[in-house]
Amino acid sequence: MSFSLIQQTKQLLAQESGTVYKPHGGRIKVALAYPNTYWVGMSNLGFQTIYHLLNQRADTVCERVFLPSQIVWQEYKRSGAPLFSFESQTPVRQFDILAFSVPFEGDYPHILDILELAGIEPRANQRNAYDPLLIMGGVCSFMNPEPLAPVMDGFVLGDGEEILAELMDALGEAPLKRKDKADLLQHLSSIPGFYVPSHYHASYNSDNTYRALVPESADMNTRFEPRQLSDLNNWPTHSRLLTPQTEFGNMFLVELSRGCAHRCRFCLLGSALGGIYRPHSLEAVSISIESGLTSGKRIGLVGATITDYPYLNKVCQLIEKEEGKLSVASLRANKLSGYLLDALKQSGHKTITLAPEAGSQRLRDLIAKGLTEDGILNAVENIVSRQIPHIKLYLMWGLPNEQSADIQAIVHLAKKVRQIMSTSRSSGRLTLSLSPFVPKPQTPFQWCGMESLSSLNHKLHYLRQELKALKGVKLIAGSPRSSFYQALFSRGDRRVGEALLDACKERKSHKMALKRMQPAADFFVHRKRKADETFPWDHLITPHQKQKLKHEYERSIQIPQ
């Protein structure tokens, strides 16, 4: 074991509060892995929640694992040390369960990197009973788990809180080591919301499209319903571990809600799990906030649409009364109250982020954003009137049926916003944060293909040229190439996973392997889907849900060109 690696880990641990240390003896040992760096993973509220819930169990010890930074990775390689957990520096391979929390598809290759460093065989059917059981949860699990089906032993679908307890109860009924893995997975598969991919194989049509998920036996389920908490108030969700070594190091995060009250056609949160908006009660949120205020941190409110939370003003009043500071991410322009802006101003906010998503009204209607240009500009005026200097706009390019006029509209919108900002005495900056559109599973746009990289780059070049002439405007653009891989991992099937495994076996770049895969990666990314096509994720939604998505998609293509 490398002394340098252990020292670096202990230095990070020394800066934390809320860390749980438990002896391993007689307990189920869970290594909870986030497939990105400590800085990124410790900002994730879901990851912290699972850590807390597992360690509340007397029969379980849960320790964390992260993707090493580049410098730390090199030390692992130099020393030959196996990847170890944070809390006790125990090699990951010695744990009973390796549980991955995965909210972003772009981290799929990092999962294989973690397995390589841990000395764990990445292919599920080549691991034995002495290897940890690999389980994955998070948004990616119930969006489309199929690309990682060759790797994972099981997937937790939907909200993890209740099913987590059921899984651990079931695992506690029998020793994990030296138990037949097939018997164990058969036992776990009886739990609603737990999907064992090895019990099924995928079949394909002659044109390479997906045909069906075929079970081992006729009496097995071929449709899975992701779990959904009926009452969030039994499950308070807020920061459990605090450290300065993360993006939100000065914040105590508090979840206000799950799901979304809107039905934007590009967004998974508006359609997955029935698209139901579920707010926490004011009482539950207040208890979490009071806990956070004792730490002296800013209170960061978390939710898809903060401004839809029914008790938002009362939450602001509570924080103000206790002389706390408030922080939020992006806000919906047409629900931006003066009270909230005043609270953010009082808390020292220098930037307000809005998410119009598109520059033109035609595209905002096409994606069902429910937002007008007047609504956006009125929000900007309200922000400027309070002397909050900076504004950020989240926008996409490459949306379905996007035309040159829609790209030009981004520039026009930026000019109008800057014009309003120029009336203020502050020298504020307008930041445009642009992301390439990626059509996601379980959304109305799942039938769309992603725009070609050459077209995306051409449009981005135009925007850079036009916007650089605007004083006080900064453009931050996501990588079309990175979005290509995001689309591939989110829209692919088991053949994508096989390509990743081949890259791992041959110790080659996953990008190189994906370039030569068959069918080609473009088949999954850029191809427009047929109206009656079967998708690799159809076993996670009902035919009725799919029909509703299709109806929304058909409505979108009726928007005038």
Sketch the domain layout of the chain as residue ranges.
Answer: 3-215, 229-326
CATH superfamily of 3-215: Cobalamin-binding domain (3.40.50.280)
pLDDT for residue 178 = 52
Residues with Cβ within 8 Å of 478's Cβ and at least 6 positions away in sequence, in order, are: 434, 435, 436
- Burial label, 233 (beta-carbon count in 10 A; 0-12, 13-18, 19+): middle
Query: Do the Cβ atoms of 447 and 528 come closer than 8 Å?
Result: yes
pLDDT for residue 43 = 94
| Secondary structure of 327-354 in HEC code, one letter for each residue | ECCEECHHHCCHHHHHHHHHCCCCEEEE
Cα-flanking dihedrals φ and ψ of residue 66, to 5°? Answer: -130, 160
Instruction: Go through 392-402 and write b for each residue having 16 or more CB atoms within 10 A of its CB, e for each that does not.
Output: bbbbbbbbbeb
Query: Do the Cβ atoms of 154 and 170 come closer than 8 Å?
Result: no
Instruction: List the one residue out of 449, 473, 450, 451 whose CA is nearest residue 463.
Output: 473
Residues with Cβ within 8 Å of 543's Cβ and at least 6 positions away in sequence, in order, are: none
pTM here?
A: 0.95
Strand, helix or coil at 217? coil
Q: How far apart are CA 155 and CA 197, in angstroms?
A: 8
Question: Under CATH, what is the fold of the domain 229-326?
Answer: Transcription Regulator spoIIAA (3.30.750)
393: left (phi over 0), alpha (psi -120 to 50) or beta: beta
Q: Is the dihedral of CA 405, 406, 411, 413 positive or negative?
A: positive
Peptide bond into 536 cis (omega under 30): no
- The answer to whether the 3-215 and 229-326 domains have the same CATH topology is no
Specify the DSSP element, H or E, that contains 521: helix 521-525
Query: Do the Cβ atoms of 28 and 168 come closer than 8 Å?
Result: yes
- Quote the Cα angle for 76-81-87, to 5°: 90
Q: DSSP letter for 538, please.
A: G
- Quote the Cα angle for 141-146-149, to 5°: 90
Q: How far apart are CA 123 and CA 114, in angstroms?
A: 13
Q: How far apart are CA 324 and CA 321, in angstroms?
A: 8
How do the pLDDT tens digits run along the chain, 561 residues long?
688 999 999 999 999 999 999 999 989 999 999 999 999 999 999 999 999 999 999 999 999 999 999 999 999 989 999 999 999 999 999 999 999 999 999 999 999 999 999 999 999 999 988 899 999 999 999 999 999 999 999 999 999 999 999 999 998 876 665 568 888 899 999 999 999 999 999 999 999 999 999 999 988 989 999 999 978 988 999 999 999 999 888 899 999 999 988 989 999 988 877 778 999 999 999 999 999 999 887 999 999 889 999 999 999 999 999 999 999 988 999 989 899 999 999 999 999 999 999 999 999 999 999 999 999 999 999 999 999 999 999 999 999 999 999 999 999 999 999 999 998 776 799 999 999 999 999 999 999 999 999 999 999 999 999 999 899 999 999 999 999 999 999 999 999 999 999 888 777 677 777 888 899 999 999 999 999 999 999 999 999 999 999 999 999 988 776
Q: How far apart are CA 62 and CA 170, in angstroms?
A: 17
Q: How far apart are CA 74 and CA 5, in angstroms?
A: 10
pLDDT for residue 506 = 72
